[in-house]
Amino acid sequence: MPLYRVIIHGGNLRLKVEGKWEKFGFHAPQFVEASDALRAEQVAVEDFRRSQKYQDLLASSLNSERDPPFIRGKEITQVPRRSGKEAAGLEVFRESEV
């Protein structure tokens, strides 16, 4: 099965930084095996939702049920097997800086 790199893009996270609540977004790469790019996005998003990285972000956030954060796959690229399958890092940024 092909290996895909999916950049997870999320946003609308209300986080407290330097004593002030602000909206933040994030990017996080995920590597998944899937039959095609659409399935790769679905698997990567679901895997990320279950990840400790995302759970930690949610635990730190102050979002209401009527204003939840969002997550979606952004860049989906089939990669050679030698690229590995380990997800790397998490980039968090202020949405006002985008």
Per-residue pLDDT reduced to its tens digit, 21-59 = 999 999 999 999 999 999 999 999 999 999 998 999 899
What's the pTM?
Answer: 0.83
* Per-residue CA distances from 10 to 3, 35, 80 (Å): 22, 24, 26
- pLDDT value of residue 27: 95
